[in-house]
Structure 1
């Protein structure tokens, strides 16, 4: 998916603003900027980032808090 909506608003939010069609059914989020593992207890972990995109860039475009994996790597194309 695209990391941000039109206008630059983050799509990865602290809380869903739309009605849920499935709860606790996503285990990974993949965007053009990053890949996050989703754990329903501990939250999001950044595991990959696009080449040329820093963790700070991703934080600036992500509302939800996330941890950074010790094994963070560049996304494969």
Structure 2
């Protein structure tokens, strides 16, 4: 889905926003699990920004030229990030 958007819109895409949270059944999204496992409060040693790039979405974003990330909101239940060029 995101890859087809890149193919269609190319350089017109200025950023990719992610909202990583828990589903209704209480399970964390893969991105949220990766992020929480890598930041300091869950025993990891990465900065929040490095932890964001160490997620599935973060790897994809960096591969496609989105080399900046801002953490717009975070707590243990929900993380909102914005990857930009």
* TM-score scaled by length of structure 2: 0.30
Q: Higher helix share goes to which structure?
A: 2
Greater Rg, structure 1 or structure 2? 2
